Amino acid sequence: MNTFLIIVVILISLFSCNSQYLITQNNRVVFVKDCTLNEKINVGDTVIIQLIQYPGRGLSWELKSLPNKKNEILFVNKSLSDDQESMDDGSQKVYFKFLIKGTTDFKLEFEYRRPWESDKPPIKNCIVFLRTT
């Protein structure tokens, strides 16, 4: 009975995963902090952009636009860290995850703003240039 349950769980996990999100042994996860990229990006790498926001002020980072290169880059998700400082004005890390699928140059633009103030310019901008090989 236990063997059957294990096999079912393995099969469910295999069929529920989308293979384009899996990282093989040859691919890396590259972290970009403070809009500064210090590493070369390869096809198949996962790139995670880490930014700091202050949700108590109503401010958040948003991806301004995705490059029109859907065959070369895939936006996977946006996630928030669980380690927000306990104060009302505490900082929080936000992560934007991308999968690099092709060789080209990318420009990723992020804006730091209050969502309801779309008519005003953003408080900060972050531009990350990715060059893949």
- Strands, sheet with 46-53, edge to edge from the N-terminal-most edge strand: 29-33, 46-53, 92-100, 73-80
Q: Which domain, by its residues, includes 49?
A: 24-131
pLDDT range class, residue 85, cuts 50, 70, 90: low
Q: How many beta carbons lie within 10 A of that of residue 61, not counting itself?
A: 23
Q: Which of 59, 57, 66, 47 minimizes the C-alpha distance to 88?
A: 57
**Count of structural domains within the chain:** 1
- pLDDT per residue over 22-62, tens digit each? 444 567 899 899 888 877 899 999 999 999 998 888 899 99
Please name the helix (run of DSSP H) or strand (run of DSSP E) that holds residue 8, with its range, or none. Answer: helix 2-16
CATH of the domain at 86: 2.60.40.2020
* Rounded Cα–Cα distance for residues 38 and 22 (Å): 24
Residue 15 lies in a domain: no
- Strands, sheet with 124-131, edge to edge from the N-terminal-most edge strand: 60-65, 105-113, 124-131
pTM: 0.74
